[in-house]
Amino acid sequence: MSGINYSEKIPNNVDLVNDRTLQRALEHWQPKFLDWWRGMGPTDFQNLDVYLRTAVSVDSEGWAQYGAVKMPDYRWGIFLGDPVADRKIGFGDAMGQPVWQQVPGEYRSILRRLIVTQGDTEPASVEQQRLLGHTCPSLYDLRNLFQINVEEGRHLWAMVYLLHAYFGRDGREEAEELLARHSGDADKPRILTTFNEPISDWLSLFCFTYFTDRDGKYQLKSLAESGFDPLSRTCRFMLTEEAHHMFVGETGIGRVVKRTLEVMKELGTDDPARIRAHGAVDLGLLQKYLNFWCSSSLDLFGSEVSSNSAANFANGLKGRPDETTYDDHVLREKSFELGTPQGTENVPMLNALNEVMRESYLKDCEIGLRRWNRAIERAGFGALALKLPSMRFRRSIGAWAGQSVDPQGNLISNDVYSRELNSWIPSDQDRTFVKSLMQRVVEPGKIAGWVAPPERGINNLPVDYEYVKLH
Ligand code: BYC
């Protein structure tokens, strides 16, 4: 177990105290981060005690400590997963060679780009979610939102550490830029599209944490395979924290489904208008939110055919999630059958790795749907089962970008597409309705009418615990 030194200004398990230059550089960045957090982090809740978990070690047996913390006092720190002795590169042309403890000169700019892209998403998500506290459905949910926000802040620290420690002056400049770009900003937006979408209601938050944080899981898993060992170790520990974010998404959507089914049973109808009049989210509306966030997150894997991903794999920089579960780790001989709007194309497997990842991601997304659909079937509404949209639907990146495709994946005419789009993703009217449901509920144990209460509280505490002390 690598302990964390909490007596230092920046808690860490990377022996920062013995690298004064790095320590000074990070201590110089720290107040800028805090300024960003106060300016762009959760609004109006900064002085409240929140029941948060804080990483105190990287031990799988127990790495976190729980307690009341004011968010700006959260101990954001630098934690790397334990080193693996004699670790070797597990894929690509340099497979079997020792991993690198320093950045190889020839891969410097591509590694920096990967780290910056990953780092950019973390503060972006905090910015996207900054107003949600005002409309929380319960104190339990409010606490979960803040837990996610502080941990995304820590994930930014994780990437900034790598930039400062391994990329010299360019890295320090990139770290400044990570605080200068802002989600949705017309002049300096975040790098990836999904992270510029507003998240203005909790249904979107649950979908974002279900779909977009799951992209995070897949990207972090593939970077955890990297031959650049500090990146691998950093990502391994980030994945531990990431699991809770997806839990919030999966249980959040599950609770929406549960509440809707209760209302449908009570009213004896599946009529969306009556369900809405009763203050719940009809399943068709939920389906539209799933379609929106799933399709947006599918773009985050990049183009189907990518020379970047081929080079990253061949050079041992970015593998596939769970690389050891595959047989062939070099992929020079394999090909992939890719469906494009022009027909099926045979492409070298190395160039199709974004697509391989997208496919396994989508399989992972199915797991939650199966669980929600079981509840829907049990309630006797099997015909309204939820579905994932096709990988081709509403894409902005890759071969299907800009194509008129329905959620089942059929190419259709532009006219039909424009006419029907509002029946596949939330219309303005749908968003206005969802917004009308977003009334803040902050009495301990109370819950908004559009979502069922959670099955259990945090860390064995009761559901009605005062997770955020508002007074
Ligand atoms: N939006 O060869 P291509 C998370 C650009 S989420 C805008 O297709 P490549 C989190 C691409 O940059 C995980 N631009 O793509 C979740 C390239 O631009 P340049 C985030 C896009 O390089 C919730 C061009 O298109 N981590 O952690 O194979 C809360 C052609 O590129 C997009 C990572 O993404 C897009 N969607 O793969 C908080 C891992 N897609 O260079 C956090 C790091 C592509 O021609 N990043 N482009 O100007 C990567 O691995 C890769 O950069 C990508 C793209 C997977 C994103």
Write down the residue that tokens 């494009």 correspond to. Answer: 340
Residue 121 has a pLDDT of 98
Is the pLDDT assigned to residue 371 strictly greater than 80? yes
C-alpha dist (Å) from residue 376 to 19, 203, 270, 278, 441: 57, 18, 12, 19, 27
Is the pLDDT assigned to residue 8 strictly greater than 90? no
Residue 58 has a pLDDT of 78
Q: Largest Cα–Cα distance in the chain? A: 68
Q: How far apart are CA 317 and CA 91, in angstroms?
A: 9
Residues whose CB falls within 8 Å of the CB of residue 327, separated by 6 or more in sequence, listed in order: none
Counts of helices then strands in the chain (DSSP H, E):
13, 5
CA of 367 to the centre of ligand 1 (A): 24
Atom 21 of ligand 1: nearest residue by CA position: 192
User: Among candidates 210, 213, 202, which has minimal Cα distance to 259?
Assistant: 202
Is the pLDDT assigned to residue 5 strictly greater than 70? no
Q: With beta carbons less than 8 A apart as the criterion, state whether 283 and 260 touch.
A: yes
CA of 117 to the centre of ligand 1 (A): 7
For residue 304 and ligand 1, the question of a CB distance below 6 A is answered with no
408-445 pLDDT tens trace:
999 999 999 999 999 999 999 999 999 999 999 999 99
Is the pLDDT assigned to residue 255 strictly greater than 50? yes
For residue 317 and ligand 1, the question of a CB distance below 6 A is answered with no
Mean pLDDT of 94-115: 98
For residue 308 and ligand 1, the question of a CB distance below 6 A is answered with yes
277-323 pLDDT tens trace:
999 999 999 999 999 999 999 999 999 999 999 999 999 999 999 99
For residue 2 and ligand 1, the question of a CB distance below 6 A is answered with no
Amino acid identity, position 334: K
Q: How confident is the model at residue 225 (pLDDT cuts 50, 70, 90)?
A: very high
47-102 pLDDT tens trace:
999 999 998 777 777 788 999 999 999 999 999 999 999 999 999 999 999 999 99
Atom 14 of ligand 1: nearest residue by CA position: 192
For residue 300 and ligand 1, the question of a CB distance below 6 A is answered with yes
Amino acid identity, position 36: W
For residue 215 and ligand 1, the question of a CB distance below 6 A is answered with yes
Residues whose CB falls within 8 Å of the CB of residue 193, separated by 6 or more in sequence, listed in order: 296, 299, 396, 397
CA of 303 to the centre of ligand 1 (A): 9
The 3-state secondary structure of 50-98 reads EEEEEECECCCCCCEEEEEEEHHHCCCCECCCCCCCCCECCCCCCCCCE
For residue 354 and ligand 1, the question of a CB distance below 6 A is answered with yes
The pTM assigned to this predicted structure is 0.97
Write down the residue that tokens 């203050």 correspond to. Answer: 279
**Pairing state of beta strands 343-348 and 49-55?**
unpaired
Mean pLDDT of 336-351: 96
Atom 10 of ligand 1: nearest residue by CA position: 216
Q: With beta carbons less than 8 A apart as the criterion, state whether 355 and 392 touch.
A: no
Residue 4 has a pLDDT of 61
Residue 253 has a pLDDT of 98
Mean pLDDT of 126-149: 98
| Number of Cβ atoms within 10 Å of the Cβ of 460 | 8
**Percentage of the chain with pLDDT > 70?**
99
Q: How confident is the model at residue 1 (pLDDT cuts 50, 70, 90)?
A: very low
Best substitution site from 155, 300, 338, 391 to test ligand 1's pocket, by max atoms within 8 Å of Cβ? 300
Nearest ligand 1 atom to the CA of 318 is 50
Residues whose CB falls within 8 Å of the CB of residue 375, separated by 6 or more in sequence, listed in order: 254, 257, 258, 261
Residue 55 has a pLDDT of 85
Q: With beta carbons less than 8 A apart as the criterion, state whether 219 and 118 touch.
A: yes
Q: How confident is the model at residue 471 (pLDDT cuts 50, 70, 90)?
A: confident
CA of 67 to the centre of ligand 1 (A): 36
Nearest ligand 1 atom to the CA of 152 is 38
Best substitution site from 152, 308, 356 to test ligand 1's pocket, by max atoms within 8 Å of Cβ? 308
Q: How far apart are CA 415 and CA 178, in angstroms?
A: 40
Mean pLDDT of the chain, nearest integer? 96
